[in-house]
Structure 1
C-alpha cells in the first residue's frame, strides 16, 4: 500500500461527534490567504451537485450516488455502495496543472444526469472548486468564470478558490 502525503493539507478541526458532513463544520484557516473557514463539509451547489471536503469519521449520506475524490488520503464511510466513484490525485498548490479539470467536469455532468454527485477534496475549497466551476460552465448554468466563482462562494464559503492560481484559471473560463 502506498502512503499518500499531501504537503498542502489543511488542519480542519471539525467536531468528531458529528458524522453527517452537512452538519459537521470545519474550523480551519486557509493555506492561501489565511482566511477562516467555518463551512460544513458538504454543501449543495446546484441540482444534483454537491461540493465539499472530507475528514475521518464522516459518513456519506445515502442519497449520494456518484463521488469524485480529489483527495485520496481520507475517504467517507459508506452505508451503501455508490453507483460509481473516481479518485484523482491533485494538490492545492500554485503549480498544480489544470489539464485534467475539463475531463473531470464532463464526468461530473454526465453523472449529474443520472443522480446526485459529490465532488470533494480535503477542505472543499480549491481542488473541488476547480472541477465544480468547470462543470457549472460546461452545463451552461453560468456564463463566465467569475459567475462560477460567485456562485460557489455564495453557496459553499467565501474562502473557495483562495488559491490565486486556481482562481485566475477559473476567471479565464467561459461557458462552453
Structure 2
C-alpha cells in the first residue's frame, strides 16, 4: 500500500525546498511546477498556442509572453488553468500509479493549489509548509520581477495560510530554519513509514 502525502503551502513559504528534503531522504516527489515546465515544451504547447496565439516559440511556451496574455485578466487566467490543470493531474496520476505498482511505501505530491483545486481527495495526508507573514513577504518580494501588486494578486487567489494550517495533518514551519524543517520532514517520514507503524 502506497501512502500519498500532499505537500502544499502559499507562495514563499518554502514548499519547493521542503519537497527537495523529502527527495533527499528517499521519498519520491511529484513536483507540479516541474510537470508544468515539461508540459510547456510538450503536450500543453499546441493547446496554449491555439488559445493564446504568439505565446509559443519554437515549440516551447514563452512564459513572459504568456504572462502578458493572462496577467490582470481573470477570464484568460481561468482559460489557461483549464488547459494546464488536467494535464498536470494526469501526469501526477501516472506517477502515483507507477509507485503503487512498485509498492513504494510513501510518495509526495507537491500541489501548490491543493486546497484551491479541491485536491484533498487525491491524497491520504496533507503537509502544509508555513512561515511568518513578514518572512513570506520578504522572500516573495526578493524574487525577480515581483511587485507588491503581483504578490497581492497571487495571495488573493490562495486559501489563507491560517486556513491551510487548520486543515493540515502536519505543519512544517520553514521560518525556524533549514535544520528544523529537515528534522520535521524526518519525523513525518518516520511516522508514516510501515516499519515505524509496526512498533506503534
Indicate whether the TM-score tops 0.5. no
The normalised TM-score by structure 2 is: 0.27
Pair member with larger Rg: 2
The normalised TM-score by structure 1 is: 0.29
Higher relative contact order (CA 8 A, sep 6+): 2
As a proportion of its length, which structure holds more helix?
Answer: 2
